[in-house]
Every structure is written in structure tokens, then in C-alpha cells.
Structure 1
């Protein structure tokens, strides 16, 4: 059973959001919760087939009475021209864009000495330059856009995006735009397991003892933080980076936290089911 939003129904009725990387993992959870709250969502990523499959799945869960809709529009955020086309298409369809969630990104496991210039460039072009392309197209002063709401960046240890957030929060404050970043800790998802391939099980299991909650997070716990930052409840928050990591970034080896189960359980859903199977596999005897 999928988790339900903790926010009131209809919170984002008639709003429009773009969620890059919105068809898998954290982006999919964000898109699903925005839809549940009445927001129309345009999900975007490079892989059209996976994107459309996610959109079909989400459409089935939208109640007939809801004003929300979901649209899949493929886009490579590394390309400035493709981002321009994405924004133009959304404005043509909906006439407005209230929220931009820059969730699209990627990384891979590699020691610095083994990383090629091509690999370095791919990560920077996606995580930093791609975020900049999306923000630039939503710049409040340009005539060819209709952004009137908030931008939010998902950033995991991406210092450049963190500073871009601070800079744009000041630069665009007079236009009524709030810009915040969100830095997830170790978040388990089926997509992440696939991306890390054979390293996935080891990496996730290894992270549990170093998390103060003594469990991993799931995408639904990130999406609720995103919805908070996009909501009127965060009307006086801008230029901030919210860490969603159960305090993991504060945890030092000099202070050992004993094993416990005191934290609330993660929200139900397919990601939690897969995580439980990884950490506590059921006997097949």
C-alpha cells in the first residue's frame, strides 16, 4: 500500500509543477505526492519509455474529481535547447508554471584517480549545469516564461548547487520567487539499487549503522519535505538547504549510537518493501 500525504487534500489544486527526473526514485515520489495534493505535474527525463510508463501508473491513481493531471515530456537537461523546448511546451499546455523541482541528476562510484574527464563532465553537466539551465529558463524577468512560484533543487553533497541556491534566492527575491535546496541522506529506492548494480546491496547495508535513525530513508520521506518547502507554510524560507538525513551528516564515529528501533517506521510503499527484503530477507525454506 502506498503512503498517503500528510498534507491537507487540495493543497496544490490548480498549480503546475515541472519535476525533472520525475519518473523514478525520489522524483517519482515527489510527483506522486504533488498529484495527490491536486497539482498538475510534468515529469521529465531522458528515457521516454520509462517516463511514459511512470505517467501511466500515476494517472491510474488520480481521482476523477481531482484537477490534477500528469504529462510526460522527455528532456535532457544537459541541453539548453531541450530545456527551452520543455518550458515552452509546458507553458503552451498549461499557461503557467508554479513549481520547478530540479531533481534530475546522477553520479557513479569511482575513486578520483580513476575518474575520466568525460565522467567528471557528465556529472557536472547534469547536476550543476542542468540545474542552471532549468532555473535560467524560469528566470522571472524573461518574457518567454510564466514562472510565478518557487524553485527547489534536490542536491546531495553538491556544494555548487548549494551556492547557486543562495545566489538566486537573493537575485530573484524581488520577483517573489523562493529558492531552496534539499540535501537527502542515504535514501533507498528500487531505482538506486538498479543504478549501483552489484554495489547496491553492500552500499545500502553498510550505511545503516552510520545513520542515527538506524534505518535508511525512503523517497516518500523526501517528497513530504519538498511539499513543505513548496507550500505556504514555508513562505518565509528561501536560500536554505534542508537536510533530510536523520542527522546522518552530524554523526561522528566518536559518539556511537546503539542499535534501536525508536524512530517511526518509514512510509509504506514499494520502496519500503524492497528495503525490508534487502535488510531482513525472508527465508525461502
Structure 2
């Protein structure tokens, strides 16, 4: 492990900026927070588990970055209002929001209960709405800013996750709508849609899903899983000045997975193709650890790096 995040963006790109990252205690959120801090941002982590936030914040500080954290359940409107207010009081304004927090469980549509449906929609849609609205009302309406919402590979449906697919599709529409409504205030709103990313989120599924999770890379034309750093780089780009004329769009980070169609045989690219410069895995995150689920079948770990 090297001493610092190996970002492709220039040093100091976010110096003087305050960026809030929800779900920053693990996975893509943790990786994104590290990259933003390495580029000079004052990162503010939000999440439900304080110990995870403390751990990531200590990593960032140890690496020379600046990071604070707040416990917040984004599904609770009052908590969101209060924590955004606290951030604005402490730092003056919010320059960027990474609406990363989310989660779901595997279930056929007919088995999803009302409680399960509502929980997933609240986490993946309503909570993101609360965060975006409050960052806008309490800071960005007066000063401008950039928001990046997290969605998923919903193109062609999400079998086994109807609740998440519906919520993520809703977030795509919310992204497009707020990009239009808030443009006159100097606010850009975009989304990223990660495909199969080798992230710690994979370890949240039941153990019996392990074989299925480990085999998913075979359906990706790029022939591998994406890295957390590749997802983070897309988020950082959309927050950056290079994306100043990009708003209301969804950046897919999926190795062309939604383009897979019947009749084309094996989707995965040969191993030698995966090492060519244009598609070689980007491993910028110096603290990355593969999901535990991959350790159960070491011969697939190469595809997950």
C-alpha cells in the first residue's frame, strides 16, 4: 500500500471546498471521501454507524486530509435538516454533495413486503431527496454547488431487486428535474450509475449469494469487476470544474454491461484484452481491500482487483 491516494486529478483541485459524502463509512463512499480529501477538500462524512465514520475519518486524517463526521439517518427528515444546518454553521457553506448512501436486499417482487419496499425506497430515494433539498435550501441556493446522486445499473430492469430498481429510476428522474429547476442558481445535479463494482457492499448479501456474486463479471463485456476507485473518479469528475457544462445526466460506470444482448455469446473480454491501456483496471485507492466474498473463491480475485 502506498502512502497516498493515486488520483488522476490535479493536486489541490478541491482546496477550500466543503463536500458532504453520505454513506461515507464504507465502499464507494469511503473511497470517494479519500479521493476528495487527497485533492484538498474538507470532507464531511454522514452515516448511521458512528464507529465506521470515525474509522474512515481517522484514515483520512492519517493520510494528511481534513475530515469531520456526523451521525445521520438520511431517511429522517428532521435529522437531515439539523445536520445540514450544523455543517453550514461550522463551514460556512456546502460546495458539493455526494448522495451515496443506499442499500437493498435480494427478493423476488412477489415476496417484497410493504415494510421492505418502504425501507428500500426511503434509503435510495427519499433520503437522497432530503439531502439534496436541504443542501440546496440551506446553502446552494445562495452560493451554487454541485450534487452527484448515486443510482445503479437499472437499464433493462433489476430482477430480484424491484424495490431498488424503482427507487433508482425515481432518483434518475429527480436528478433530471432538479438539474432544470436549480440551474438558475448555479447548481449542477448529476448522477452516477455503477455496474458491478468490487466493493464491500457485496458482503452485505446472504452467504448463499456468494457464487452468483463472484460470477457476475462474466456477463460484463469488459470482462471484470469495476474498482471503487473507478466509481469514485466518475463522481469526482462530475463535481469538478471540468464538468461545469454537464448537468442532468447519468454517468454509467459499468464496462458496457447494459449492452449485453442474447446471441453474442460470452460477454467477457479475454484476459489479455483486459490489460490493454484503455481498459486496464484503475486502482487509485491505496487502502482498498477486496470484498470478503471473493476470498471464498481465490481464482476469481484477479478479476475483482
Q: 1:234 aligns to what?
A: 243
**Distance in 2 between the 1:208 and 1:55 partners?**
31
Q: For 2:291 and 2:124, locate their aligned partners in 1 and report how far apart those are by CA, in whole Å.
A: 29
Local SS of the residue matching 2:131: helix
For 1:75 and 1:231, the matched residues in 2 are separated by 26
Moved more, 269-278 or 248-257: 269-278
Q: Which runs of 5+ in 1 are unaligned?
A: 63-67
Q: Do structure 1's residue 159 and structure 2's residue 169 form an aligned pair?
A: yes
For residues 268 and 126 of structure 2, what CA distance do their matches in structure 1 show? 41
Alpha carbons of structure 1 residues 199 and 12: separation in structure 2 relative to 1, 3 Å = farther
Give distance in 2, aligned partners of 1:131 and 1:259.
35
| Partner Cα distance (2:237, 2:110) in 1 | 40
Within a 5 Å distance, the mapping from 1:84-163 to structure 2 comes to: 84-140=81-137, 148-156=144-152, 157=154, 158-163=168-173
1:208: which partner in 2?
Answer: 217
Cα displacement (A) at 1:195: 0.6
Counterpart residue number, 2:162: none
Aligned pairs for 1:29-48 (under 5 A) are 29-48=31-50
Q: Please name the residue that 1:182 is paired with.
A: 192
Matched-pair contact (CA < 8 Å) for 1:91–1:146: no
Across the two proteins, how many residue pairs are aligned to each other? 275
2:53 aligned partner: 51
Cα shift at 1:218? 1.6
Question: Which of 69, 73, 77 does residue 70 from structure 2 map onto?
Answer: 73
* Superposition CA RMSD, Å: 2.1
CA distance in structure 1 between the aligned counterparts of 2:212 and 2:11, rounded to whole angstroms: 37
Contact 1:194/1:200 (<8 A) preserved: no
Cross-structure match for 1:221: 230
User: Contact 1:188–1:204 at 8 Å: present in 2 too?
Assistant: no
Q: TM-score, normalised by structure 2?
A: 0.84
How far, CA to CA, are the matches of 1:200 and 1:147 in structure 2? Answer: 46
Secondary structure of residue in 1 paired with 2:144: strand
Deviation at 1:93, TM superposition (A): 1.1
Alpha-carbon deviation of 1:78?
A: 0.3
Aligned partner of 2:159 in structure 1 is none
Residue 218 of structure 1 contacts residue 271 of structure 1 at CA under 8 Å; is this kept in 2? no
Normalised to the residue count of structure 1, the TM-score between the two structures is: 0.90
SS in 2 for 1:163: helix
User: Is the Cα–Cα contact under 8 Å of residues 94 and 140 in structure 2 kept in the other structure?
Assistant: no
Is residue 143–residue 185 contact of structure 2 (8 Å, CA) maintained in 1? no
Which residue pairs with 1:267 in the alignment? 283
Q: CA deviation at 1:69?
A: 1.1
